[in-house]
Amino acid sequence: MRRRLNKISAYWWCQFVGWGGNTLMNFFFAWTYNRSINSSFVIRSLIIALLGVLLTHFMRWVLLKLNVLQKTIERQILYFLGITAGFSLLYSFSSLSLIRVLNLFTIEQKVYSFSRLLVGSTINAFVTLLVWNLIYFIVHYVQRVQKQQMDALQMQSVVKELELKTIKAHINPHFIFNSLNGIRALVDENPAHARKAITELSNILRSSMQVEKLETVPFEKELALVKDYLALEQMRFEERLKVNFDVDEDTLDMPVPPMMLQTLVENAIKHGISKNVEGGVINIVSKFTDDHHELIIRNTGHLNGDFNPEGFGIASTQNRLKLMFGNDAEFSISDVNGNEVEARIMMPVEI
């Protein structure tokens, strides 16, 4: 029984409740004004209710057939008024005709002509059907607005996913080209290191392929990838590259965008360490600050020369943080301490 009730649509529930309520209201007024509630009254009330359900359902079919809800608001108003008037006349004529055939008119109704009864009944029916149409219009308007909002949210989600995939698709090729350029420099200088570097690169690519399909990865995995990359670069730079880590162990489980830290470290080496004859130092810090996961990449160098603040590394980081965290994440890059460049990321911590 419950399954059958669950299959009844909201529209039919509204129909039954609405016309049932209208019938109960007629009984209430009849009882209030001491009118006779006999079998004729009951049959008349049932005729009015059943015809109301049938004709309003037919009226709904006409509204859908004419695509009234898809028209401009001005044309909708004209259609609603015209259809309401037409069905009010049809409703009144049908109900009065049935009542007359079944000889169910009250003593008061028998005094008036059929045409006069038809006019009065049509006016009453117009008010009732107009309310029905207004409710129908409001419900569909609300549903349409909700659907548009859902469609907009789904579209934003699809666009966000496509943008993230586009950014990710550029990260690995960018990383591979830079790494291959570094290995090329080792081929003549130190063939043994070059072979080892190729093995390291293979391991890094294998790891990056596993995480690039994910929207976020644990910081511990991202950090491991960065350490492998730095080991590869230290073969090229040797003593010219020094790396320091200051990582809060509690941040290792925090989700971060894959390859983001690696991209910024790669950026620090390309625009900072490689430009200094004496090399330099890269400091990587991970800690919690005011309900945020803070990442800091600080390297020897300056924001000048061929550094482009809108280049791939910086732009991809800004775009990914914006797409994933909105305005809750922050990214900045600036000169600090006179001879260092600091990239700072603040990502919200979900509590």
Per-residue pLDDT reduced to its tens digit, 164-193:
554 455 545 656 676 677 677 677 777 777
Of 262, 283, 286, nearest in space to 342 by CA: 283
As a whole number of angstroms, the distance between CA 39 and CA 277 comes to 107
Task: With a cut of 50, list the residues of the chain below it in pLDDT.
Answer: 1, 5-7, 162, 166-167, 171
As a whole number of angstroms, the distance between CA 91 and CA 83 comes to 12
Q: Which pLDDT does position 120 carry in this prediction?
A: 87
Domains of the chain, earliest start first = 2-151 (no CATH), 190-348 (3.30.565.10)
pTM for this predicted structure = 0.49
Polymer length in residues for the chain: 351
Contact indicator for 287, 349 with CB cutoff of 8 Å: no
Locate 245 and state its tokens: 């880590």
Locate 338 and state its tokens: 């006179």
User: Degrees (nearest 5) of the Cα angle 203, 207, 211?
Assistant: 170
Q: Is 305 helix (H, G, I), strand (E, B) or coil?
A: coil
Q: Which pLDDT does position 5 carry in this prediction?
A: 45
Question: Which stretch of DSSP H or E encloses residue 344?
Answer: strand 340-348
User: Degrees (nearest 5) of the Cα angle 333, 335, 339?
Assistant: 140
Q: What share of the chain is helix, strand, coil (3-state, %, to 5)?
A: 70, 15, 15
User: Degrees (nearest 5) of the Cα angle 115, 60, 78?
Assistant: 70
Q: Which pLDDT does position 324 carry in this prediction?
A: 80
Q: How many CB atoms lie within 10 A of CB 195?
A: 13
Contact indicator for 104, 44 with CB cutoff of 8 Å: yes
